């Protein structure tokens, strides 16, 4: 697979909402209070009020389901979603990967409507960081 850097996405989250054990696993929702993104082709901030709806499955894998709005530094709004998995199980390192999609009406950024992207995530002291690459 060939890919190229799209952006680094930093998220800040509020207190989690621990929904608890549901029929499909343990649900925890992370409200997104803000953040920033930076890449060669786009940069800006994450608007508050998105969330990452996570589900910890009985096999230990956490499924992620994120919806946020990005605002570029020149004022374009971008609807972003990703799905992914986080698996802290394997010895030698956690597996934390996502698949992102974007929607925007701004012509400058319409290339985002036409691509799929993969991300590598990590949890840092100041919140999650996702390094996202366009699938070429």
Partner 1 sequence: MDSRFLMSLQIIVAGAQKIGAVPHGTRVTAPIASGHFEGPRLQGKVLPGGADWTLLRGDGVLELDLRVTLETDDGALIHMTSFGLRHGPPGVIGALARGESVDPSTYYFRTTPRFETGHPKYTFLNRLVAVSRGDRRPEGPIYTIDEIL
Residues that bind partner 1 (CB under 8 A): 1, 3, 59, 61, 83-85, 87, 89, 95, 97-99, 110, 113-116, 118, 120, 133, 135
Which lies closer to partner 1 via its Cβ, residue 12 or residue 113?
113
Tokens standing for 117? 């992207």
**Nearest approach, Cβ of 68 to partner 1 (angstroms)?**
19
User: Phi-psi region for residue 93, left (φ > 0), alpha (ψ -120 to 50) or beta?
Assistant: left
Kindly state the DSSP code that residue 40 receives in the 8-state scheme.
Answer: S
Helix (H, G, I), strand (E, B) or coil at 108: helix
Buried b (16+ CB within 10 A) or exposed e, 101-124: ebebeeeebeebeeeebbbebeee
Which lies closer to partner 1 via its Cβ, residue 47 or residue 77?
77
Which lies closer to partner 1 via its Cβ, residue 35 or residue 134?
134
Report how far residue 69's alpha carbon sits from residue 39's, in angstroms, rounded to the nearest whole number: 16
**Nearest approach, Cβ of 48 to partner 1 (angstroms)?**
27
Which lies closer to partner 1 via its Cβ, residue 30 or residue 102?
102
**Nearest approach, Cβ of 60 to partner 1 (angstroms)?**
9
**Nearest approach, Cβ of 133 to partner 1 (angstroms)?**
5
**Nearest approach, Cβ of 22 to partner 1 (angstroms)?**
18
Residue pointed to by tokens 């802290």? 88
Which lies closer to partner 1 via its Cβ, residue 52 or residue 133?
133
């Amino acid at each position: 697979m060939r890919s190229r850097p799209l952006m680094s996405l930093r998220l800040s989250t509020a207190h989690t909402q621990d929904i608890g054990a549901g029929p499909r696993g343990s649900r925890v929702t992370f409200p997104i209070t803000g953040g920033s993104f930076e890449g060669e082709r786009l940069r800006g901030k994450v608007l508050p009020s998105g969330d990452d709806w996570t589900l910890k499955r009985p096999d230990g894998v956490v499924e992620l389901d994120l919806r946020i709005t990005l605002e570029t530094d020149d004022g374009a709004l971008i609807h972003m979603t990703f799905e992914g998995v986080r698996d802290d199980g394997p010895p030698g390192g956690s597996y934390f990967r996502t698949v992102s999609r974007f929607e925007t009406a701004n012509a400058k950024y319409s290339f985002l409507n036409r691509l799929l992207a993969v991300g590598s995530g990590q949890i840092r002291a100041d919140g999650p960081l996702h390094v996202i690459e366009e699938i070429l």
